[in-house]
Chain A
Amino acid sequence: MPYQQPVILNRTGKDTMNVDDVENPEVEVSESEFESEDEDVKLEEPSKTSIYNADGLLDKLDDISWPQNVEWIHKLSLDINQEQKVDVNDDLARELAFYTQALEGTRQAFVKFQSMQLPFLRPSDYYAEMVKSDSHMVKVKGRLLAEKRRIEEADERRKARESKKIAKEVQAQKLKERAKNKKDEIESVKKWRKQRQQSGFAGGDKDGEMGLTFEDGKSFEKSNKKRPGVAPFDRTGGKGGRGGAGKGKRGGAAGGKRKGKDFKDSKFGFGGRKGMKKQNTAETTNDFRSFNKGEFSGNKKRKRNSQLLLWKVAGWRPPVVRYDGLDLATAVSSSGLQIVE
């Protein structure tokens, strides 16, 4: 009997039989965590008073057992060899052992049924009552689906997290790139300035400016930003005040003062064509911001009961008021309204 050796879970178990066991508390403390979760505590060694009447047991077995030569089809029972000892506390191993036992049993039974030419599994078109109702199976299915969905969602979340991380890196890369570009540009401007200084401003003002503007191809692209102090119709790029007359390229020393003047010119109109101010441009025609701003603009709901709105606008109320107080007369006299029952 290799299997009989009991698993010892409770060393103090023997003492539990006799109540006066307070003499070694240390052992009890060490064992206490074992018991808190374990349901089947065992005695360490078999109690001496227990009965084992093997003859009686075998007698009873003879009494109740079926005749020896009963066919297998009546019993449908199979003994399956358990390969190795199963550790009870390892849930997975234990369940696997049960599963393999069942599977092995099924295979043997299947072979037997096959040899007896008996039906075994339910044919797919055989419908009958099942142990679990359909509504229960729907629940089971729902749970399985929910689990699947949960897993998928978790997967998606993880993917999103990872992609976010990557995107962050990409963004950082981009910013770096941009900073580098900026630096390069500044560098190139400096270089150009130095060159110009070295050549003794040979190219003159106009050339220099042209050079700057055409250095990168982007200068012709229209920016969406609103430029301060430039009228919307102004297609000269805000330089109407300066460029048009040709009188106005001054030295760097007077720049600070000139800037203010330029601004004022462009704002209040000095230079450039005045007629253009009154004309619509594409932006102004499409600009509905200032249009329809009053009480009437709003959602459809409000528009629907426009009557009410009218009252509101006009501050007008229907002149009928009901009073239920005692001093009707005073109320009437003070308000000058008529009373309706």
Chain B
Amino acid sequence: MGGKKRKHSEAEVAAPVKNDEGPPERPKRTLLGWKDKVEKEKETDSKPGFRNKEKVLVTCSRRISYRYRHLMMNMVSLLPHCKKDNKVESKESKGATLNELVELKSCSSCLFFECRKQKDLYLWMAKCPNGPSVKFLVNAVHTMEELKLTGNHLKGSRPILTFSNNFDKPHWKLLKEIIMQIFGVPKDHRKSKPYHDHVFVFSIVDDHIWFRNYQISAPHSEMDKVDRGGLDKMTLIEVGPRFCLNPIKIFGGSFGGPTLYENPFYVSPNQIRALEKRQKAGKYAKKVKAKKRRKMHELSNPLEPDEFADMWKNDD
């Protein structure tokens, strides 16, 4: 009976019947009859009209290295509400291209993996028609293929998003909202599955956003009827991928527009490499300088004449 009813109600979604849309379907199908009504009332009185229709375009720049490409593919497998598109040339006008592409695919947000010099990965998150967009530097990438990460979960099940409580400043708040919208799988998405067996972690440590993905596992006996006891036995197994986002800039528009935030502590990897090189390059100059300094020092502080210098000479 559940299947029939659901089909019926989904057909109704298209029709402008506002008060009985997506949300109440799920409880009907899974609940016992006597709880059904209470649940329905609770849901309908809160917000009947809202439906999350997020769609994410996931793409990357040309000449992306395989590791980062795998990371992108992992994200694609984690987000059932995403669309993957061809690689985009990473040049000055990429913003316009990407905006066009997003519109073409009728998406509402975009994840763009931009790889530069085969080693630096930048991640753009953009809300698409009219902003904002964020550019991150991605560090510490581990893909899902790594054998150390032993967990596994349903493809397309909706993740639980956990944020650490230090998303409190305006830019962190904005980032949290963007992340929540992009990484949260819409309820009743047709590719999503009705269970929740993994959890995302977004945590700000050291001014970076760290991402982790864990599988929720409980002993099999508890799985059917998880009660209070099952709560304690719940364990998490990491599934991957792992990465760490360092926000660089937040723009007002999508892939452009006025800069709203700029990370004051950010040093680009190019500068870091240049600095390292310069430090290595100064070796000879430093040696010469040290020698000169030593000489100057010796000249300014001459040794006292040694009273025993010709002691043994006299003996001969």
Contacts and interface: CB of A to CB of B under 8 A. Distances in A.
Interface of A: 1, 3-4, 6-7, 10, 12-13, 16-17, 22, 25, 28-29, 32, 35-36, 39-43, 46-47, 49-54, 56-58, 60-61, 63-67, 69-71, 73-82, 86, 88, 94, 97-99, 101-107, 109-110, 113-114, 116-124, 126, 128-132, 136-137, 139-140, 143-144
B56 interface: no
B260 A60 contact: yes
B220 interface: yes
A103 B46 contact: no
Interface string B102-137: 000000000000000000000000010011100001
Nearest to A60: B132
19 contacts: A6-B207, A13-B267, A25-B286, A28-B282, A39-B140, A40-B208, A46-B265, A57-B260, A60-B132, A64-B178, A70-B50, A78-B163, A88-B208, A94-B210, A101-B162, A104-B162, A130-B153, A131-B77, A131-B153
A61 B170 contact: yes
B214 interface: yes
A7 B236 CA distance: 30
A103 B174 contact: no
Contacts of B163: 77-80
B147 interface: yes
Contact of B205 (A10, A86, A110): A86
Interface in B143-165: 144-145, 147, 150, 152-165
Nearest to B127: A64
A16 B275 contact: yes
SS class of chain B's interface: helix, strand, loop or mixed? mixed
Given A73-B23, A116-B39, A42 B239 contact: no
B199 A102 contact: yes
A67 B50 CA distance: 8
A62 B244 CA distance: 26
B174 A25 contact: no
A1 B167 CA distance: 11
Contacts of A67: 47, 50
Interface of B: 23, 26-27, 30-31, 35, 39, 43, 46-47, 50, 52, 74, 77-78, 127, 130-132, 137, 139-140, 144-145, 147, 150, 152-171, 173-174, 177-178, 180-181, 184, 186-187, 193-197, 199, 201, 203-208, 210, 212, 214, 216, 218, 220, 223-224, 226, 231, 234, 236, 239, 244, 246, 250, 252, 258-267, 269, 271-272, 274-276, 279, 282, 286, 289
Contact of A88 (B147, B205, B272): B205
Contacts of B208: 40, 88
B279 A103 contact: no
A120 B195 contact: yes
Given A3-B166, A137-B152, A123 B239 contact: no
A120 B227 CA distance: 11
A17 B264 CA distance: 12
B126 to A, nearest CB: 11
B212 A121 contact: no
Contacts of A120: 195-196, 226
Contact of A106 (B164, B195, B220, B234): B234
Give the 7 A-B CB pairs with smallest separation, nearest first.
A46-B264, A105-B162, A50-B264, A88-B206, A77-B161, A50-B262, A57-B170
Nearest to A76: B160
Contact of A80 (B153, B162, B168): B162
A227 B145 CA distance: 73
Contact of B150 (A49, A51, A144): A144
Contacts of A56: 252, 258, 260
A93 B249 CA distance: 29
A136 B163 CA distance: 30
Nearest to A42: B265
A27 to B, nearest CB: 11
Contact of A52 (B50, B204, B261): B261
B50 A105 contact: no
B135 to A, nearest CB: 13
Nearest to A15: B275
A32 B178 CA distance: 37
Contacts of B193: 122, 128
B121 to A, nearest CB: 11
A97 B170 contact: no
B31 A110 contact: no
Contacts of A39: 139-140, 269, 272
Given A56-B260, A131-B78, 20 more contacts: A6-B206, A6-B265, A39-B272, A53-B258, A57-B260, A67-B47, A73-B187, A74-B186, A79-B167, A88-B208, A94-B205, A97-B205, A102-B212, A105-B199, A106-B199, A110-B226, A119-B195, A123-B223, A131-B153, A131-B155
Given A57-B170, A77-B180, A43 B265 contact: yes
B243 to A, nearest CB: 12
Nearest to A1: B169
Contacts of B180: 75, 77
Contact of B279 (A29, A47, A74, A109): A29
Contact of B174 (A40, A61, A76, A143): A61
B212 A98 contact: yes
Contacts of B289: 25
B216 A121 contact: yes
Contact of A107 (B187, B194, B234): B234
A106 B39 CA distance: 22
Contacts of A105: 160-162, 199, 201
A57 B162 contact: no
B226 A74 contact: no
Contact of A71 (B43, B160, B218, B260): B43
Nearest to A22: B282
Contact of A40 (B47, B246, B282): B246
B226 A121 contact: yes
B252 A60 contact: yes
